[in-house]
């Protein structure tokens, strides 16, 4: 099987999309920052189920990293990523440079309220402005019919949905379930930073969240349950817990028992920050 077409300019991207459009093909997009793992490949497979052509962007977006975060050490492995996209059957890889995405004099920022408030924003204030800005640019550059985002980055998924609703962006947002290893650990590019001992600890995160979500669904007090979950994670070996929080599934407003809920968490193992989330079943 031949590999995907590789383009690194907006002009070349639009030319290829235009060619597909002229033959009536539906286009699905999977935005990524590279370092592709099985979770990303599951998004590609979902995209291929929903459209005749799959476009994957690979761009480590500096706008969503704070000065203290891991932009420079974020894993970059383009050759391996392209091999994985070839195996998965993706049709096009868009691999722009920072200068292509943010040329000299770039001065515009997209800011989304609503579901971006709290949780990640409490610890990474510029993160969702960076996400919203780059996603808006990618959608305007590629004009896909649909785009696939994973539930692992659940708050991001909600923010992108809000972005498309508010700005009338004609892109259908498709969510795909979190891919996990055999121990329940959510696939993440940052898992590559973890030692074997740290991986053993990391695999306890989802178990604690699932137990806490079940307790909440059974009527347990939210404050007591999330506090107990925080304590359990620290005892399990996590260095720090940024949050364990119950939220409404769509708006990410404070959770109400008569609404679909989501339990979200962010934790630290050494210098690596991990996030995860689970559904809170309705009672």
For the chain, list residues with pLDDT below 50. none
d(CA 103, CA 197): 42
Catalytic residues: 40
Domains of the chain by start residue, with CATH:
5-176 (3.40.50.620), 189-278 (3.30.1300.10)
Task: Enumerate the known binding-site residues for ATP.
Answer: 33-40, 150-153, 179, 187-190
pTM over 0.85: yes
The pLDDT value recorded for residue 1 is 57
The pLDDT value recorded for residue 116 is 97
The pLDDT value recorded for residue 67 is 86
- Could you tell me whether strands 27-32 and 146-150 are parallel, antiparallel, or unpaired per DSSP bridges? parallel
Task: Enumerate the known binding-site residues.
Answer: 33-40, 64, 150-153, 156, 179, 187-190
């Amino acid at each position: 099987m031949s590999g995907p077409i590789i383009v690194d300019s907006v002009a070349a991207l639009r030319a290829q999309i235009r060619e597909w459009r002229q033959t009536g093909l539906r286009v699905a997009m999977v935005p990524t920052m590279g370092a592709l793992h099985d979770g990303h490949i599951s998004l590609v497979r979902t995209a291929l189920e929903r459209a005749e052509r799959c476009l994957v962007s690979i761009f480590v977006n500096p706008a969503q990293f704070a000065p203290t975060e891991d932009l420079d050490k974020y894993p970059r492995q383009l050759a391996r990523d392209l091999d994985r996209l070839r195996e998965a059957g993706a049709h096009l890889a868009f691999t722009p440079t920072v200068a292509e995405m943010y040329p000299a004099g770039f001065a515009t920022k997209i800011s989304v309220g609503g579901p971006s408030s709290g949780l990640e924003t409490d610890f990474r204030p510029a993160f969702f402005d960076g996400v919203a800005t780059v996603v808006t640019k990618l959608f305007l550059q590629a004009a896909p019919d649909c785009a696939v985002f994973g539930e692992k980055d659940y708050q991001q998924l909600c923010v992108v949905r809000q972005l498309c609703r508010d700005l009338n962006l004609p892109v259908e947002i498709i969510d795909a379930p979190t891919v996990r290893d055999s121990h329940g650990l959510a696939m993440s590019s940052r898992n590559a930073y973890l030692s074997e001992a740290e991986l053993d600890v990391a695999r306890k995160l989802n178990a604690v969240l699932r137990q806490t979500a079940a307790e909440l669904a059974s009527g347990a007090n939210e404050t007591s349950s999330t506090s107990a979950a925080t304590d359990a994670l620290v005892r399990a070996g996590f260095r720090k817990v940024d949050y364990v929080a119950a939220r409404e599934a769509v708006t990410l407003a404070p959770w109400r028992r008569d609404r679909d809920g989501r339990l979200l968490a962010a934790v630290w193992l050494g210098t690596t920050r991990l996030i995860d989330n689970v559904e809170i079943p309705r009672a």
